[in-house]
A and B are shown apart, each in its own frame.
Chain A
Amino acid sequence: MKLLIKLTGALHAEMLHDLTRKHPFAAERVGFVTARIGTLADEGRLILLTGYHSIPDSEYVNDPSVGARIGSDAITWAMQAAYHGRPRREGIFHVHIHGHRGETGMSGVDSREIPPMIPGFQGVGRYAAHGIIILSLNHGSTWVWLPGQQEPVQADSMAVIGAPVQVFNHGRKK
């Protein structure tokens, strides 16, 4: 099944700008992205990112054992967004950036800390797709929990529809 991500160039720029800002104490920043689903041929799915939510400095928890830890207010915002997005089947994606170039993946901390958030999003927005986006300076990888699925699927590509267009293929598949 083909699984593609699309977003506008403006949204991509907004995410990059926010996520690369220095935080007073956290080593990296986190954000949330809202997304809707589109249907592709042969039961493929298109995930269309619609908006970015920057997490205020005050909603980070000072925890030197991880790059960034967000507090309950930030999680509450995401849960409420998943709830209010139900009529539009709008899901929530956790996003952060790894400060290198090229395709990136989940670190050990990412794998341990972020996926446990997803069932909470699914609980309040069961018909939406939720997931995790990890950007690099010139690439992006996405793991998607489609409605009703307990395991994620890694997206085949992320297309930034801006000027110029950018397409980040998983595994450099063409």
Chain B
Amino acid sequence: MSADRYSRQSFLGPDAEELIARYTVAVPGLGGGGSHIVQQFAHIGFQNYVLYDGDAVEESNLNRLIGAKQADAMAETPKLHLAKMMIYDLQPHAKIRGFACNWQEHPEPMRECQIVIGCVDSYKGREELEIACRRYLMHYIDIGMDVHGTDRPVIGGQIIQSSPGGLCMRCMGFLTDEKLAQEAARYGKAGARPQVVWPNGVLASTAVGMAVDLVTGWTRKCRSHAYLVYDGNEGTVSESITLRNLKTPCRHFSTADVGDPILVEL
């Protein structure tokens, strides 16, 4: 390995390369957002991955799925395979545990991670990931985008950091019973929402930046939580107004409620 490889990111700290290589990251969902994430993680130098996605490349993915080619849609290449190849091309010695399924079918490998970046479509999926991250002590970073309206479309999105001991997505006003109920009324389907490559890139890049900061601490911000809102029409990322005056500890998760759930006989 050339000493020059990471010379342009030396500002991250003298031990950054070793720290980045030591930690394990999980990416459930390897579509429009997740494909950006794994590509950037591999460039930065992450070596340990737990990946989940059971889907194969389709024609409709080619507008945004990083690494996908026309031939992949024709061959129905698994998205997991694309992600692995993207990582191995940059990091031949990476340790990748990949699962062509939802993370809930093989949750145990994810529990070893320090950071999970969730790239799932539904509120329910986000809620379940956050619960797992609190129970097994992992930083959870969520990204998602949506396009609202048709006459004057508005692109919106979010990047959220929910960490053990910090404010959760309910505290921050992102997850609500109303949103979950509306989604449940649609039988849990997020639907075929509009998705384009550039907002995914902004959201994924911001999330990767958060993850690198958690690993290296280079900004010295020591964030316990974050909720950034993306306005795709204005091209801005700013802190959510819901965080203003929000200083109370998390009311939804206790740091004592960790580990395997125990069934108590009454």
Contacts and interface: CB of A to CB of B under 8 A. Distances in A.
Interface in A12-61: 34, 36-41, 44, 46, 48, 50-51
Contact of A46 (B106, B221, B259): B259
B56 interface: no
Main secondary structure on B side of the interface with A: loop
Given A38-B111, A38-B136, A161 B163 contact: yes
A164 B258 contact: no
Given A161-B138, A161-B163, A169-B22, A51 B256 contact: yes
A7 B256 CA distance: 10
Nearest to B225: A163
Interface residues of A, number: 32
Contacts of A4: 112
A167 B111 contact: no
Interface in B3-47: 19, 21-23, 47
Interface in B97-121: 106, 108-109, 111-112, 114-115
A37 B259 CA distance: 5
B262 interface: yes
Given A6-B137, A40-B111, A161-B114, A167 B22 contact: yes
B47 to A, nearest CB: 8
Interface stretch (B77-85, B169-177, B183-191, B209-217): B209-217
Interface in A86-131: 87-89
A162 B213 CA distance: 11
Interface residues of B, number: 36
B224 interface: yes
A48 B258 contact: yes
B148 interface: no
Contacts of A39: 108, 111, 260
A167 B23 contact: yes
Contacts of A132: none
Nearest to A156: B112
Nearest to B210: A163
A137 B217 CA distance: 18
Nearest to A41: B108
A89 B223 CA distance: 32
Contacts of B255: 8, 10-11, 50-51
Query: Among the interface residues B106, B109, B216, B258, which one has the most CB atoms of the partner chain A within 10 A?
Result: B258
A36 B257 CA distance: 9
A174 B217 contact: no
Given A2-B112, A7-B137, A41-B108, A164 B214 contact: yes
Contacts of A37: 259-260
B165 A9 contact: yes
The 6 closest A-B CB pairs, nearest first, are A36-B259, A164-B217, A48-B258, A41-B108, A6-B137, A163-B222
14 contacts: A8-B255, A9-B165, A36-B258, A38-B260, A51-B255, A159-B114, A161-B114, A163-B217, A163-B222, A164-B216, A165-B23, A167-B23, A174-B21, A174-B47
Interface of A: 2, 4, 6-11, 34, 36-41, 44, 46, 48, 50-51, 87-89, 159, 161-165, 167, 169, 174
Given A37-B260, A39-B111, 10 more contacts: A8-B255, A38-B259, A41-B112, A89-B259, A162-B222, A163-B163, A164-B214, A164-B222, A165-B23, A165-B115
